[in-house]
Amino acid sequence: MWSSKSAKGNILTHIFDEILYLLSYHYKGVSLKTLELYAVTFVVRLISIMSYQGYLPFDKTGDWFYHFVEFLSLISISLAIYGIMGPLISTYDEKYDKFGNLHIPSQYGVVYVLVPCFVMALFIKPNLNRDFVSDMFWAYSMYLEAAAMLPQIYMFHNKASDKERSVDLLLGHTVFALGIARVFELIFWVGSFRELADRSGSRLPGYIVLLSQVAHLIIMADFFYYYIIAVREGKSMELPINSSYNYPAMSNV
């Protein structure tokens, strides 16, 4: 279908970052819910591409490498979830990871992302595999990936509201790296979204995928701004007290 460079770059970013976290022996400031959303993303995307070729590149990476890297991403995310729920649970800031804490127990907050994305994928999906389930799962993975960072950003906001405005240096770099990967993915989809037509020939699925990439960057725009300022000035990232978005400071703690 298309070149896989954008997708591979995004996936390899996940793998590299999760390995670094496993080696750092702590998950301070990391949102378990964001990790769970990425895990579901990789599972449904693997289901979509294991038996069909519609969303795979034409080159040889579409024969095995794409599947292999997706599987490695799932393994790395699964190990991170194991670490944060098991041996490294004492380093997890659960009291700040409260995304979706509305009318349901906090630990199930990811349903506020999982369900809307699933419903949207049921009705707005491309048709490159010409199979309802695999096409739906591919669209589902795209929508989930675009929204997966919401719990992490919400966790930053909660920490800042409690005057815990510092974030681990590695976490700050990780979130920024994932955001930059999304920038390149957006550039890729600007040139490719027209290929994502549905059974009727409508290009609505392509437009929705494109908009989901833009929405992801909008969600992270404030973080990008203060991160770049902090790195450029070589100091901790600080936000004005009266800022409507209270992201944390970056430190080596």
One pLDDT digit (tens) per residue for the chain, 253 residues: 444 444 555 555 555 555 555 545 678 888 999 999 999 999 999 998 888 777 776 656 556 677 888 888 898 889 889 889 988 888 898 988 999 888 888 889 999 999 999 999 999 998 888 889 999 999 999 999 989 999 998 888 887 776 666 666 777 778 888 888 888 888 888 887 777 877 787 888 888 888 888 988 888 888 888 788 878 877 666 644 444 444 444 454 4
The conformation of residue 88, written as its DSSP 8-state character, comes to T
Q: How confident is the model at residue 167, as a pLDDT?
A: 65
Residue with tokens 């991170």: 80
Cα dihedral 164, 246, 92, 85 in deg (nearest 10): 170
Q: How confident is the model at residue 39, as a pLDDT?
A: 94
Q: How confident is the model at residue 3, as a pLDDT?
A: 41
- Supply the DSSP string of 165-178, one letter for each residue: -EEEHHHHHHHHHH
- Supply the DSSP string of 192-230, one letter for each residue: HGGG---TT---HHHHHHHHHHHHHHHHHHHHHHHHHHH
- Cα angle 154, 90, 166 (rounded to 5 degrees) comes to 45
Domain extent for 151: 5-251
Q: How confident is the model at residue 41, as a pLDDT?
A: 94
Backbone angles phi, psi at 214, to 5 degrees: -65, -40
| 3-state SS, residue 126 | coil
Quote the number of domains for the chain. Answer: 1
With a CB cutoff of 8 Å and minimum separation 6, the contacts of 91 are 25, 26, 27, 28, 84
Q: How confident is the model at residue 28, as a pLDDT?
A: 81
